[in-house]
Chains A and B, each alone.
Chain A
Amino acid sequence: MAAMTPTAPDTEAPTRTPAQRRTASRPRSGASRGTGIWRGAVLALTGAYFLVPLLASFVFTVHVPGQGITFEAYTELLSADGFTESLLLSLGLAAATIALSLLLAVPALVAVRIGSPRLRPVVEIMCMLPLVVPPIALVTGITTVLRWGPEHLSRTPLYQTFLAVQNEKFPVVLVLAYTVLALPFVYRSLDAGLRAVDVPTLVEAARSCGASWPYVVLRVLLPNLRASIAGAAFLTLALVLGEFTIASLLGFQPFAVWIVSISGAQARMSVAVSVLSLLITWLLLLALSRAGTAPSTAAAAPATTSRKES
């Protein structure tokens, strides 16, 4: 059976397709060759524009004029001043931001789906509004608010909160700002995930089987949202690792700020770190796009197999 199915169309195909193709393509074969060249030119130019900076950056980091090829820019990274600290700070901030944004958004979005549809536009607008405010404008507002601490609140317990929030070791204020910036992406990702499953039916089914509310959320809803939660987390991670504006203007030194701070003295190393951080971010996003397409290919697979069988 398996050996027969592929041969059957093969014997049929040559008798039909060449004739069809000839009649279809002959009248405008010249035109299609022209568009073929044009198409190739566009793709080649595009490829060059997007690849040359990457290749050139790599060459820049390993080729020292007069010395030849050396990988020092990469090997010296680990011992570089501030590298580990800033990287760890960025990763810590990212973890806290992911946790906070998911803790805030998942219950709200699930609640809006099952019980309070009238709240939905409110939640959507609240989550999407940060797109309208450029980070640099947000940071002007944050600095103003932070200045209220010493100016007006120095005698109240709130003042201690203001200081704690700006702790050098772990600036909570950055986590709060990054969560605001990440909300639109988290919202979109979770909303798409929730759209794909029939939440009220799932919840009703689980509830009528006697499941408790925590059980419903943890064991029924979250597994269905796994892909979109992972997507939201990846996007947030990429956002926090690359964020420069808010951190630098508030005077903290996570990864992106550190790269700029060393660029004057060690240009080669700063480019090397940029290349590395690019690769890491890209791998993350590639994994994310894989995860995003996985369900659709899984859904498409039965269709193709059934077509083959028929």
Chain B
Amino acid sequence: MTSAALRSRAWKMLEMVTTPLLPSDYLDLVSPLRAGADLRGRIEAVHPETRDAATIVIRPGRGWRGHTAGQYVRVGVDVDGVRLWRAYSLTSPTHRQDGRVSITVKAIPGGKVSNHLVRRAKPGTLIQLDQATGDFVLPAAKPAKVLYLTAGSGITPVMGMLRDTEFDDVVMVHSAPQPQDVIFRDDLHRLVADKKLRLTELHTDTDGMLDISRLDELVPDWAERETWACGPAGLLDAAEEHWTAHGVRERLHTERFRPSIVAVGDGGEVTFSTTGKTADADGATPLLDVGEEAGVLMPSGCRMGICFGCVTPLKAGAVRDLRTGEITEAEPGVLIQTCVSAAAGPCDIER
């Protein structure tokens, strides 16, 4: 018998010992970050960066496969007891000696997770992790000249790049409202002092937004540079137009942080993505009825919100709890009770 077969047999044996739980349920008690466990991380430190941004240092579990500079990671954080998932750029270099990684988070007004991480997260807390992902990364072959064009928290993936790989000729144009809003300002100026970076810092409160046509004057050879741009949609749109107009679009790499924009309203079109059916729903009819009406096989029980026999994944959009009026927006892993939820705008139900 191969050792893998032997191991799987031993595991089966263990499962018989622990049934109906799994051996991992017990192992998680003592070693939540072990190899083979669901991927998690432990917050080890929280460093404030600006008044509304902080770097969270995380020790990932043994299953972490590492990342490439510029990538992001989805983290699942329990906020007020509810697990919420968000994506943040990794700002640590790829080969930190201590195996830790960091994300840098800017608290956005009303943002549940970002405010929690920046202001309330405590070292020692376990969070859930996904593997790093994203293709806003550096190429394998080093470009001779590099331009980083960033604004606001768009600096975060680029900081991961700056810390990871040194280039001979790097220019950065970064915009932020005021000097004290510049995340990593000290780090950037240290790189400048060490002659590893040429930096143009723009303060939009006083200088106004960057006019892309000013690039000629700020970075005269911008068109020859391999460029990575990250920031608000306005900046990226302008950049894409500019690079295209000059016929050098292939040199521009952009990363958009898309805050999922959910239209919250009263009723809307409901898509049942498994069966491919759609139906128009008003804001008062339970989705269970909407589905049945449309000929979708909907699981149900009490039809009054007490048995949880109708829970179904909400893939997109938003729904309103007919009892409390509470709005639930789609996020991975969000399940809703269709018998007491109505469409609050267009939504997608996995049935």
**Bind each other:** no
B residues near A, CB below 8 A? Answer: none
A residues near B, CB below 8 A? Answer: none
